[in-house]
Structure formats: C-alpha cells, structure tokens
C-alpha cells in the first residue's frame, strides 16, 4: 500500500468520528451522511484552523444539506445526456467519461452529490463508455471525471487511458480532479511517469481557497507540470468561503505561481443540498470586475454559469463594460471607470486623440 493510500485510509467518514472531532451532534451528522457521504482525509483536515472556517465549510456535513427544498439532484440534466451509464455527451465533439464515484474528500457543494461516494462504477460500465466513444467518430476530446479519476490505482487508470488513447479519432484527453490539492501525496513520480505517456493530456484541478496551496500541493503541481501536463484551475464561488475579491485575487495569484492557469470561476449549480452555499450572480460579476487591472490578464478566469437542465456553459461579463455599440464606434469603460471610444472598421474615421479617455470631471462621457 502506498503512502497516499495509508493517508486516505485514516479519513473521517463516520458520524461519531466527525462529531467528536468538531464537537457536533452525532445524530444530525448521521442523518446528513446517510444521504450525502462524508470523507475528510488527514491532509485536508490539517488545513482546518477552526470551526466554520473556509476549509471546514467545504467538507464538514451541515444539517442544511438535507433541509434544502430548492435544488435538484441532477441540475445539469447529465442523465438526459447519458446514452450509456458512464458517459455524458452534451457537446458534439467531446464526451465526459465517468470512471469512479470515489473522491479523496467529499465536497459539500459537489454538483454530483447524488453520486459521490455512492454506487460504484464498474469496470464493465467504463468499458461500455469507451466503446461508445470509439463508435462516435465526432468525439475528439475525452474528459475523465467522476468522482476523481486520480483516486484509482495507477494500473487501473492506465488501462483506461491506454484504451482511450488507442481510439484514432481522439485528439486530446483531459482529467478533472481535486486530488493535487486534496491529497497531494497521490501525485507520485510513478503516477507522473505513467501520465506523460498519454499526451496530449490536460488536467483541470479544483481549487477553492488560497489556504489550500501548501508546500506539498506546490510540489505536486510542479511534478505534473514537469511531466508536460498543462494545468488549469476550476473554482466554485461559495458563500462565506471565497465570495470576496481579495480571496479570489489571492487564489488566482497563487495559482499562476505554482504553474496552474486560472480557467473557470463557476457560479454554484442548483444542486440539492447546496442552497446555503450559493452566492448571487452579481457577486461573481463584481469579483470579475474587481480583478480587471489588479492582476495579470493571464490570471483572470472566465466567470461561468452552467445552465440548468443541460443548457451548457455560458461565460458572463460585467454588463456595464460596454456603454454603447453602434455602426460607428464602441464606447467602453475600462478598469479605472474611464470611458474610451473605439472606432468600427467601416466607420467614420476618428483621430487618435478622439479615441482617448472621454471621462470629464463630472463622470459623463463626451459625445
């Protein structure tokens, strides 16, 4: 058994363990985890500084999870886009292959709470999914997901990667994971040596709060990057956890420092059991607006709403950026709230001076 497996084995998973550790009512915890399993591994546990801090809220069961009557079990209608049990095929050229329902920690905000830690995904189901991908030549991009694919043993994971890579029409493989920050000990040299055999291979890692970025996490991401794997981040905006500009700014700056490109900042899905963790859409837009001009554009993620019912992902931008757009020009506000004109290609020509800042002392644009 490898070190990471020993660590995982010591996770808090039972109500009496969790209630004792955090001085909670065991009966309440038991009711929650009967519906939504818990797992708090020792690495992530060590990041918790006090009850109800941003790390605690991500993994410790909350009675409000089973009192939520707003959300739905499958908010993105993944089952409606699932031609075989292990596949979600929403977009024509890509498919998501579910390889496990197990994770190193069980996030209380997971969009797949209905599945996490519950019924297993069998080897036969995974092979059926790969057969589906092989039969659909329009699929160019496969995302391994779950659960967390990196929870699988190297041998099992490599068999899946090898089968997918052997399909001639598959151009890229992606892995969606939280393990590099939830259980960085899993990112061994042997794992990285195996993964680099299946390029082009990309990895998107879930990061929620800057305190997750420890020395071990930095080393894990460096090992992956050194194996030639481009790393991106996916962050869910969560109430009382990371729903302010300074927290997100710090997280994004720390991510680029450990060779992880900020990719998506998600509005939380309408998942049953997570209503108490959701933020307003305006909160995300305000944060996105605040990041402009404050950190490198390379470090600014897209703000994404994954539409209910399977409508797909939509990127949102602050609505007050564009003041006016017509055949002649674009009038736009920059990160300093100064207003500029940008001439259209077929419009009446503007001089360079006319395109400069148009914000006078009273804050109204000059026309």
Tens-digit pLDDT profile for residues 197-225: 999 999 999 999 999 999 999 999 999 99
CB 277 within 8 A of CB 239: yes
**Residue 337's pLDDT band (cuts 50, 70, 90):** confident
Query: What CATH number has the domain bearing residue 141?
Result: 3.20.20.70
Is 103 tagged catalytic? Answer: yes
Is 320 tagged catalytic? Answer: no
Is 192 tagged catalytic? Answer: no
Lowest mean pLDDT segment, chosen from 154-163, 195-204, 221-230, 337-346:
337-346
* Residue 260 main-chain phi, psi, to 5 deg: -115, 120
More confident residue, 119 or 32: 32
Q: Which of 103, 243, 249, 289 is catalytic?
A: 103
Q: What is the pLDDT of residues 262-283, one digit of tens each?
A: 999 999 999 999 999 999 999 9
Q: Which of 259, 302, 313, 333 is catalytic?
A: 313
Distance CA 258, CA 254 (A): 7
Q: Which of 56, 221, 306, 341 is catalytic?
A: 306
Q: Which of 39, 57, 94, 272 is catalytic?
A: 94
> Whole domain around residue 188: which residue ranges?
58-315
Length of the chain: 367
Is 74 tagged catalytic? Answer: no
Alpha-carbon torsion 229, 230, 231, 234, what sign?
negative
Give the H or E element holding residue 343. strand 339-343
Average of per-residue pLDDT across 68-86: 96
Query: Does one domain contain both 159 and 237?
Result: yes
Q: What is the pLDDT of residues 234-247, one digit of tens each?
A: 999 999 999 999 99
Q: Which of 14, 31, 64, 90 is catalytic?
A: 90
CB 103 within 8 A of CB 151: yes
Closest CA to 258 of 228, 221, 230: 221
Residue 347 has pLDDT above 70, yes or no: no
**Residue 345's pLDDT band (cuts 50, 70, 90):** confident
The DSSP string of 89-151 is --STTEEEEE--S--SS--TT-TTTTTTTSSPPPHHHHHHHHHHHHH-TT--EEEEESS-GGG
Q: Which of 74, 107, 113, 132 is catalytic?
A: 107
Is 107 tagged catalytic? Answer: yes
Query: Does one domain contain both 328 and 182?
Result: no
CB 183 within 8 A of CB 41: yes
Query: Does one domain contain both 209 and 115?
Result: yes
Is 239 tagged catalytic? Answer: no
Is 306 tagged catalytic? Answer: yes
Alpha helices in the chain (DSSP H): 3-9, 15-22, 26-35, 42-45, 56-59, 123-135, 154-165, 179-182, 189-195, 215-226, 245-257, 281-291
* Residue 218 belongs to a domain: yes
CB 208 within 8 A of CB 236: yes
SS3 for 27?
A: helix
Q: Looking at residue 361, what is its pLDDT?
A: 42
Query: Does one domain contain both 241 and 179?
Result: yes
Q: In the chain, what percentage of residues exceed pLDDT 70?
A: 94
Q: What is the tally of structural domains in the chain?
A: 2
* Residue 12 belongs to a domain: no
Q: Which of 14, 30, 68, 91 is catalytic?
A: 91
| 365 secondary structure, DSSP code | P
More confident residue, 143 or 321: 143
Strand order across the 201-206 sheet:
87-88, 94-98, 141-145, 172-177, 201-206, 231-237, 261-267, 302-307, 312-316
Is 243 tagged catalytic? Answer: no
What would the two tokens of residue 360 be?
A: 């006078």
Query: Does one domain contain both 245 and 297?
Result: yes
Q: Looking at residue 364, what is its pLDDT?
A: 44
Is 110 tagged catalytic? Answer: yes
pTM of the model: 0.92
Mean pLDDT of the chain: 94
Q: What is the pLDDT of residues 294-316, one digit of tens each?
A: 999 999 999 999 999 999 999 99
Q: Which of 57, 108, 112, 113 is catalytic?
A: 112
Query: Does one domain contain both 75 and 223?
Result: yes
């Amino acid at each position: 058994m490898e070190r990471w497996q020993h660590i995982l084995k010591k996770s808090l998973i039972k109500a009496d363990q969790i209630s004792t550790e955090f001085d909670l009512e065991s009966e309440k915890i038991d009711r929650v985890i009967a519906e939504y399993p818990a797992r708090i591994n020792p690495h992530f546990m060590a990041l918790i500084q006090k009850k109800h801090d941003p790390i605690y809220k991500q993994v410790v069961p909350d009675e409000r999870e089973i009192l939520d009557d707003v959300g739905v079990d499958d908010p993105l209608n993944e089952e409606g886009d699932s031609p075989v049990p292990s596949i979600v095929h929403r977009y024509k050229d890509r498919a998501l292959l579910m390889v496990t329902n197990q994770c190193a920690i069980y996030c209380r905000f997971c969009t797949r709470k209905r599945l996490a830690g519950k019924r297993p995904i069998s080897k036969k189901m995974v092979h059926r999914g790969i057969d589906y991908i092989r039969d659909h030549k329009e699929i160019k991009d496969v995302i391994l997901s779950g659960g967390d694919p990196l929870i699988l043993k190297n041998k099992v994971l490599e068999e899946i990667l090898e089968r997918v890579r052997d399909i001639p029409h598959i151009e890229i493989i992606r892995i969606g994971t939280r393990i590099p920050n939830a259980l960085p000990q899993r990112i061994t040299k042997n794992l990285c040596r195996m993964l680099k055999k299946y390029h082009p291979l990309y990895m998107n890692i879930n990061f929620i709060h800057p305190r997750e970025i420890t020395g071990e996490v930095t080393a894990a991401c460096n090992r992956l990057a050194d194996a030639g794997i481009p790393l991106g981040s996916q962050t869910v905006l969560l109430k009382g956890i990371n729903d302010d500009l300074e927290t997100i700014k710090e997280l994004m700056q720390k991510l680029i420092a450990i060779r992880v490109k900020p990719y998506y900042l998600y509005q939380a899905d309408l998942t049953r059991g997570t209503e108490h963790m959701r933020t307003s859409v305006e909160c995300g837009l305000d944060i996105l607006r605040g990041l402009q001009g404050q950190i490198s554009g390379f470090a600014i993620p897209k703000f994404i709403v994954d539409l209910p019912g399977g409508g797909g992902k939509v990127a949102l931008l602050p609505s007050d950026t564009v003041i006016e757009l017509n055949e002649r020009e674009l009038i736009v506000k920059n990160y300093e709230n100064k207003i500029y004109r940008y001439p259209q290609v077929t419009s009446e020509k503007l001089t360079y001076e006319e395109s400069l800042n148009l914000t006078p002392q009273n804050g109204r644009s000059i026309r």
